[in-house]
């Protein structure tokens, strides 16, 4: 386990060829994924079927030989486990029952009542811990409280997270109740993933960029700090990756403020900026544009080499700046890996 390249990077080691995995690497761009999802029936049935969820997690490892596998699940399973209704509309994405008043919040379950619903996820982790190649790191994950709250408060994804911001400003007590419950539930969820065999966990704050100033500190940084601190208390040797997407200057000092072992960078910041402002504090992950997985060619090759070189003086995990898109070409994923691992 100590020799796994991802774990070396997370310990702060600089490697001549950085390890690589890819956000949403198990997904719709792969024909084998689409076949397995059809077998499951729908997306949620796939998430809650341990054998099939493990299968789609393993598919990109078999095809590409990534250095890590990330558990196949969804960030909205936690609100479902807390009692929210969750369903997916084909072509449009998730829908949830909304929280607009205190009585809606009061109807939710507590942090310790989530495990019955989420037990299939833990079973998926156990299967993967047994079946992954010995050199491949297993990553568990959860959505950050702010990002998950934006869906719970709007009932769906929104372009500006407006309903969540409106509640934050209009009924802050209710808003903070939601954030605090999600923070505690996320600790328990990730704790169980680690107990089941996850070697690393990642906290995805996909909408962190819409929080500004004091709100970013209070609702992006502080929940990540609380989650990280408690998980480190329970599992001192398990590294944590934080991803406050589109945080801009909020990336600076994020690792020190929260205690995460690595900060994932989106591609709204340049590698040069990331190396100068974030990698100085430890491991960074990122940050190739996802669009390269669609377009390929010399642009892909150039940017892979550029990112590898720019981050080569410190610990680095190569990844995209956001998840791979369904229209990506698997051949471009193979080209990315081949280019990254070529001898300099």
Give me the phi and psi of 22, to 5 degrees please.
Answer: -145, 130
Q: In this structure, what token pair is assigned to residue 341?
A: 């691992």
Pick from 244, 342, 344, 332: nearest CA to 288:
332
Q: Which of 63, 74, 113, 341 is catalytic?
A: 74
- How many other CB atoms sit within 10 Å of the CB of residue 141? 21
| Helix or strand holding residue 192 (H, E) | helix 172-196
User: Among 11, 28, 95, 305, which one carries the catalytic annotation?
Assistant: 28
H/E/C letters for each residue in 297-314?
Answer: HHHHHHHHHHHHHHCCCC
| Pairing relationship of beta strands 262-264 and 316-320 according to DSSP bridges | unpaired
- Smallest CA-to-CA distance from 142 within 82, 97, 187 is with 187
- What are the distances in angstroms from CA 120 to CA 131, 208, 309? 16, 29, 41
Which residues face 264 on adjacent strands?
285
**Is residue 74 annotated as a catalytic residue, yes or no?**
yes
Beta-strand ranges (E) seen in 52-108 are: 68-70, 86-89, 93-96
Residue 37 designated active-site: yes
Phi, psi of 129 (to 5 degrees): -60, -30
The closest alpha carbon to 241, from 182, 200, 295, 193, belongs to 200
Distance CA 185, CA 5 (A): 30
**DSSP reduced 3-state for 20:** strand
Looking at 29, 48, 122, 151, which residue is catalytic?
151
Say which of 37, 63, 156, 305 is annotated catalytic: 37
**Cα gap 13→5, rounded to integer Å:** 9
Q: Which residues pair with 316 in a beta bridge?
A: 284
* Active site amino acids: 24, 28, 37, 74, 151
């Amino acid at each position: 386990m100590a020799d796994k390249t991802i774990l070396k990077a997370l310990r702060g080691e600089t490697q001549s060829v950085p390890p690589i995995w890819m956000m949403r690497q198990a997904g719709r761009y792969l024909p084998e994924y689409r076949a397995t999802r059809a077998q499951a029936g729908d997306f949620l049935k796939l998430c809650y079927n341990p054998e099939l969820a493990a299968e789609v997690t393993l598919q990109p490892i078999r095809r590409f030989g990534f250095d890590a596998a990330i558990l196949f699940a969804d960030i909205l399973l936690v609100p479902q486990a807390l009692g929210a209704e969750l369903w997916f509309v084909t072509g449009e994405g998730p829908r949830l029952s909304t929280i607009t008043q205190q009585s809606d919040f009061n109807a939710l379950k507590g942090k310790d009542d989530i495990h019955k619903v989420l037990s299939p996820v833990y079973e998926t982790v156990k299967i993967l811990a047994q079946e992954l190649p010995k050199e491949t790191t297993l990553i568990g994950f959860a959505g950050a409280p702010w990002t998950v709250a934006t869906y719970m408060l709007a009932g769906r994804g929104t372009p500006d997270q407006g309903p969540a911001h409106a509640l934050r400003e209009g009924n802050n007590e209710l808003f903070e109740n939601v954030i605090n419950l999600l923070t505690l539930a996320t600790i328990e969820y990730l704790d169980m993933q680690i107990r089941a065999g996850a070697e690393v966990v990642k906290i995805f704050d996909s909408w962190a960029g819409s929080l500004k100033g004091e709100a970013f500190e209070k609702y992006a940084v502080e929940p990540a700090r609380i989650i990280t601190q408690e998980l480190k208390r329970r599992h001192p040797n398990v590294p944590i990756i934080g991803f406050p997407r589109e945080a801009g200057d909020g990336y600076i000092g994020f690792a020190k403020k929260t205690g995460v072992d690595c900060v994932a960078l989106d591609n709204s910041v340049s590698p040069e900026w990331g190396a100068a402002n974030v990698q100085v504090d430890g491991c960074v992950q990122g940050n190739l544009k996802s669009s390269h997985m669609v377009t390929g060619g010399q642009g892909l090759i150039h940017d892979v080499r550029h990112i590898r070189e720019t981050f080569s003086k410190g610990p680095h995990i190569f990844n995209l700046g956001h998840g791979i898109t369904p229209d990506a070409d698997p051949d471009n994923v193979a080209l990315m890996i081949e280019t990254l691992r070529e001898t300099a």
